[in-house]
Amino acid sequence: MKSHMLIVVSCAGAILTSFAAAQSPGGLPSANYIPHLGDIMGATQLRHFKLSFAGKLRNWELASYELDQIKDSLQDAVTLYPGIPVTDMTIMAEPVRLLGEAIQKKDPRKFSAAFSELTAACNGCHQAIGRGFIVIQVPTSSPFSNQIFEPAAKP
């Protein structure tokens, strides 16, 4: 658990440091800053984790939000890096579609199956671009003690 927390905190710190370094002295983002692909993918990995826990705990509103954030990040990668193989994100389309359906239907079984497909698609993409040493798995524990993943009680 401690090693998972260290990894997540390190990734988040690296991402935040990269973003902070790209800001102008006035605190506004630099107009010419382009996030590194690793930064986009690191943020996507954190979203992957949050999507997993939101779905497991049936927080469908949070799951929908996290899936949208993942889609936006993948689109950013395609737009910002057109010259590298990451632009062929077709491998992700079907798992993302199935996740959207499972979330809309609030179906935990379909969500779990689609999430496993998404995870396999991530690894397939990594293999395809020569980054097979980056292996993603379905999360097993939460490093986020500061976020509640269960849906809020309705009054």
Is residue 31 in some structural domain? no
Is residue 88 in some structural domain? yes
- Asked if 25 and 36 touch (Cβ cutoff 8 Å), the reply is no
Residue 146, pLDDT score:
87
Is residue 77 in some structural domain? yes
Is residue 154 in some structural domain? no
pLDDT tens, residue by residue, 87-111? 567 888 999 999 999 999 999 999 9
**What's the domain range around 121?**
37-128
Is residue 49 in some structural domain? yes
Residue 28, pLDDT score:
58
Query: 79 is written with which tokens?
Result: 């737009």
Going by C-beta distance under 8 Å and a sequence separation of 6 or more, which residues neighbour residue 43? Answer: 15, 73
CATH of the domain at 113: 1.20.120.10
Q: How many domains does the chain have?
A: 1
pLDDT of 113 strictly over 60: yes
Is residue 71 in some structural domain? yes
Q: Report the mean per-residue pLDDT for the chain.
A: 83
Residue 23, pLDDT score:
46
Strand partners, 23: 29
Is residue 20 in some structural domain? no
Residue 12, pLDDT score:
46
Helix axes 37-56, 60-80, angle to 10 degrees: 160
pTM for the full model? Answer: 0.78
pLDDT of 61 strictly over 60: yes
pLDDT of 5 strictly over 50: no
Q: How confident is the model at residue 36 (pLDDT cuts 50, 70, 90)?
A: very high
Is residue 92 in some structural domain? yes
